[in-house]
A and B are shown apart, each in its own frame.
Chain A
């Protein structure tokens, strides 16, 4: 195995520079994909024969719900890597990703509730899928407040890694809840093994939205990690130099 890349990735300075180069691309591509997907989904996709036009909420609901869960899984992987190899980067990722995960979970819940009203006749039911998603939102909130409560960075990183790993049980519950229990919620739109039940005019924009959402998340998480790096490495020579150059540029 080539360990040099592993060490490079563990170097905050390297990640700061690479992240700065990559994040504008992620954001530009992600936002364009989200725009294309939304316009396509809102104006050009055919309407659903049962739900009419309210189904167009799917183009936000499903991608943000996917991101809410996969953000948590990425955090869980970094928590394991962080606990085993004691890397700084993994904790920076968890700190940066948690508020974004909360935002995506909130969007998924909100759009789900608004979609539920015309479709199921109710904003909310306490069934497994919806409740587990609410638990996910509270896990994200818990992580954010745990981090702000602990000043010591080593303590905060260990505690949040453990909390992330404890909360992982919730993810398969969210995923399989629609198969395990009776629910109003419909089963998964995209699966790896089967073709989508929708025609391509419907699912292609949805796929574009999912890809756009991942890119958007990637761009934002890089921006946030860069902030974490600046703050945590503030006493190092390279950050001091960076700040110095920055202030002389502003004077000139």
Chain B
């Protein structure tokens, strides 16, 4: 490390605010864009499996109704 101490590292020769602001903002954006597709995927799968279950239930009801009619 080229800094003599950790506090010097944080201070960045008086430019600490600028440097750390940039790095923390980028980290924040990276976290957001990393989590977003995971959540989207979960939502899609949940939605599609709900539709699937509903369709299956409807099929069963239709079959029962048909057998009841005959």
Answer yes or no: do A and B interact: yes
A residues touching B (Cβ–Cβ < 8 Å)?
A: 27, 34, 38, 42-47, 52-54, 56-57, 60-61, 64, 99-100, 103, 106-107, 110-111, 114-115, 117-118, 216, 220, 223-224, 226-227, 230-231, 234, 239-240, 243-244, 246-247
Q: Is B66 an interface residue (CB 8 A)?
A: no
Within 8 A of A (CB), among B8-39: 9, 12-16, 18-19, 21-23, 25-26, 29-30, 32-34, 36-38
- Excluding A52-B13, A54-B18, 7 further A-B contacts by CB distance (< 8 Å) are A43-B1, A60-B22, A107-B26, A224-B40, A227-B41, A230-B41, A234-B44
Please report whether the interface of chain B is mostly helix, strand, loop or mixed according to DSSP.
helix
CB contact between B22 and one of A43, A100, A111 (< 8 Å): that residue? A111
The answer to whether A60 and B23 touch across the interface, beta carbons within 8 angstroms, is: yes
Report the bound CA distance from A120 to B14 in whole Å.
16
Report the bound CA distance from A34 to B30 in whole Å.
11
The answer to whether A239 and B22 touch across the interface, beta carbons within 8 angstroms, is: no
| Known contacts A44-B2, A223-B38, A53 near B22 by CB under 8 Å | no
| Known contacts A216-B30, A244-B52, A230 near B45 by CB under 8 Å | yes
| Known contacts A118-B18, A227-B37, A227-B41, A42 near B23 by CB under 8 Å | yes
The answer to whether B33 and A115 touch across the interface, beta carbons within 8 angstroms, is: no
The answer to whether A240 and B12 touch across the interface, beta carbons within 8 angstroms, is: no
The answer to whether B49 and A223 touch across the interface, beta carbons within 8 angstroms, is: no
| Known contacts A47-B2, A106-B29, A220-B34, A230 near B48 by CB under 8 Å | yes
| Known contacts A220-B37, A231-B44, A57 near B49 by CB under 8 Å | no
Report the bound CA distance from A100 to B32 in whole Å.
11
Q: How large is the interface on B (under 10, 10 to 19, 20 to 34, 35 or more residues)?
A: 20 to 34
Report the bound CA distance from A167 to B19 in whole Å.
32
The answer to whether B41 and A223 touch across the interface, beta carbons within 8 angstroms, is: yes
The answer to whether A57 and B29 touch across the interface, beta carbons within 8 angstroms, is: no
Residues of B within 8 A of A38 (CB): 23
Residues of A within 8 A of B14 (CB): 52-53
The answer to whether A46 and B19 touch across the interface, beta carbons within 8 angstroms, is: no
The answer to whether A115 and B22 touch across the interface, beta carbons within 8 angstroms, is: yes
The answer to whether A220 and B25 touch across the interface, beta carbons within 8 angstroms, is: no
Residues of B within 8 A of A100 (CB): 33
The answer to whether A243 and B25 touch across the interface, beta carbons within 8 angstroms, is: no
Residues of A within 8 A of B19 (CB): 42, 53-54, 56-57
| Known contacts A44-B2, A57-B19, A114-B18, A223 near B37 by CB under 8 Å | yes
Report the bound CA distance from A208 to B28 in whole Å.
20
The answer to whether B25 and A107 touch across the interface, beta carbons within 8 angstroms, is: yes
Report the bound CA distance from A182 to B19 in whole Å.
26
The answer to whether A60 and B26 touch across the interface, beta carbons within 8 angstroms, is: yes
| Known contacts A61-B22, A226-B41, A247-B53, A53 near B33 by CB under 8 Å | no
